[in-house]
Homo-oligomer: A and B are copies of this chain.
Amino acid sequence: MKGDKKITLGLVDDHTLFRRGIASLLREFDELDVLFEAANGIELQAQLKAHEKQVDIILMDISMPKMNGYESTAWIKDNFPHTKVLALSMFEDEKAIINMLKAGAVGYMLKESRPSDLLMAMNTIMEKGFYINELVTGRLLSSLQHDKQTQQTSLKITERELEFLQYCSTELTYKEIAAAMNVSPRTVDNYRESLFAKLNIKSRTGLVVYGIKNDLIKL
């Protein structure tokens, strides 16, 4: 049922031990060919450009410094449309799933998964072009159709808002954050309210949890 061609892979994850571990694990499978590893989106771009061989699937972490999983996935979709992205995340978070799928990922798996599940997912992707599991349900996919405008605008978190989001995970008050960011307290109010509206969140706590789950905040 599988093709006789090896599946060519790329790994993107900033946790070196995890990345190297997965690479070692996957190299034990004859039907897989791990072409390269990258610690973030920037490295990934270089690797993809350097390889002449077509890369079938990229296992992509979400939380990474420099260029995260969303941006990296979108970039791949634009520049290497034949390369499929399978998201690998720590968290079962609906927003993260939606965002990755919207960026162009064809599947979403947890790092708790078993190696055999991962292998099966990759085979499915090679056959059907996508992988649907209990995390990626029909409901989610249909919601993707509708929210195109909603979600697209909601995804655009600006630089200042991101900076503000970082400060939200500290014990600084908004007034102190304003001082740290060199703006008026009213302005940080705007950042907050803008993020609340975009992400459908109602409290600073919610922002922090969202930021951590989506790796916008590094602890």
CB-CB under 8 A from A111, the residues of chain B are 15-18
Per the bound structure, the CA–CA distance linking A22 and B202 in Å amounts to 40
Q: Do residues B15 and A115 form an inter-chain contact, with CB atoms below 8 A?
A: no
A112 within 8 A of B: yes
Per the bound structure, the CA–CA distance linking A93 and B212 in Å amounts to 15
Q: Do residues B16 and A113 form an inter-chain contact, with CB atoms below 8 A?
A: yes
Interface residues of A, CB < 8 Å — how many?
38
A169 within 8 A of B: yes
Q: Do residues B17 and A90 form an inter-chain contact, with CB atoms below 8 A?
A: no
A selection of 24 A-B contacts at a CB cut-off of 8 Å is A15-B90, A15-B111, A16-B113, A16-B115, A17-B18, A17-B25, A17-B88, A17-B112, A17-B118, A18-B18, A18-B21, A18-B22, A20-B21, A20-B25, A20-B114, A91-B219, A93-B219, A169-B205, A171-B202, A204-B205, A205-B205, A208-B208, A208-B209, A213-B219
